[in-house]
């Protein structure tokens, strides 16, 4: 039952509901199969949620996810829409020729956060072509050096621009509520009422 509720949560288009399951939570990392994991990461990008708080994001990156993300990037570009710089984090270690071309395009045309994300992805790629592409953009390598080669700080910069500080204060409380909702043994007090919700008393689709 818990996995079903968790999967339902990460299918939600409501950002606080999605992030209650996906962010700062080991459950998806430990319990989701590869298909469920990949679709959760893709859904995060689709609804505009940040990837950095997803536990196990690097450890569970995989080749199928990389292909999905590159396809998604091309769809966004074809529609004239921006691509989240965080997308490339899960692509770098598994980048094939098509992904390397996409990363080169970002380095050539992207804004600073996008180019930094592409540089980090290329640095994580074992293909020699990735090193060659990165070497042609010395400004990106200098930026990485200024960050003391600290990938964690660079990824926080990429994933958390100033405008991205909404909903975060609600997420821990909503996470607790979600766990109460999916575990009958833990229900108590007002959370045990059918349809109860911490968000202004409104019902949500996951109850």
Q: How confident is the model at residue 149 (pLDDT cuts 50, 70, 90)?
A: low
Whole-number average pLDDT of the chain: 81
Q: How confident is the model at residue 152 (pLDDT cuts 50, 70, 90)?
A: confident
Distance spanning both ends of the chain, measured CA to CA: 13
Q: Where are the domains of the chain?
A: 61-168
- What is the structure's pLDDT at 70? 98
CA dihedral 55, 178, 164, 95 (to 10 degrees): 30
Which residues, 6 or more positions from 169, have their beta carbon under 8 angstroms from its beta carbon? none
pLDDT tens-digit series, residues 42-52: 999 999 999 99
The rounded distance, in Å, linking the Cα atoms of 136 and 71 is 25
pLDDT at 22 over 90: yes
pLDDT at 182 over 50: no
More confident residue, 163 or 195: 163
Alpha helix segments (H runs only) across the chain: 2-10, 15-22, 26-31, 34-46, 63-78, 97-109, 112-124, 128-135, 138-146, 151-159, 171-182
Q: How confident is the model at residue 150 (pLDDT cuts 50, 70, 90)?
A: low
- The pTM assigned to this predicted structure is 0.75
The rounded distance, in Å, linking the Cα atoms of 127 and 122 is 9
- What is the structure's pLDDT at 161? 59
The rounded distance, in Å, linking the Cα atoms of 42 and 34 is 12
pLDDT at 200 over 80: no
The rounded distance, in Å, linking the Cα atoms of 202 and 122 is 45
- DSSP class of residue 184 equals G
């Amino acid at each position: 039952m818990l996995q079903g509720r968790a999967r339902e949560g990460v299918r939600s288009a409501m950002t606080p509901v999605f992030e209650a399951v996906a962010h700062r939570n080991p459950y998806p990392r430990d319990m989701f199969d590869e298909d469920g994991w990949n679709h959760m990461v893709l859904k995060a990008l689709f609804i505009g949620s940040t990837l950095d708080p997803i536990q196990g994001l690097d450890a569970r990156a995989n080749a199928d996810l990389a292909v999905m993300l590159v396809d998604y990037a091309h769809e966004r570009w074809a529609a004239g829409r921006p691509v989240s710089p965080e997308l490339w984090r899960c692509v770098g270690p598994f980048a094939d020729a098509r992904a390397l071309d996409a990363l080169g395009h970002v380095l050539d045309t992207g804004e600073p956060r996008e180019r930094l994300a592409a540089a980090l992805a290329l640095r994580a790629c074992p293909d020699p072509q990735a090193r060659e592409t990165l070497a042609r953009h010395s400004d990106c390598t200098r930026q990485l050096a200024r960050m003391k080669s600290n990938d964690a700080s660079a990824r926080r910069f990429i994933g958390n621009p100033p405008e991205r500080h909404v909903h975060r204060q609600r997420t821990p409380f909503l996470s607790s509520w979600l766990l109460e909702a999916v575990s009958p043994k833990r229900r108590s007090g007002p959370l045990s009422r059918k349809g109860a919700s911490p968000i202004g008393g409104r019902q949500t689709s996951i109850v």
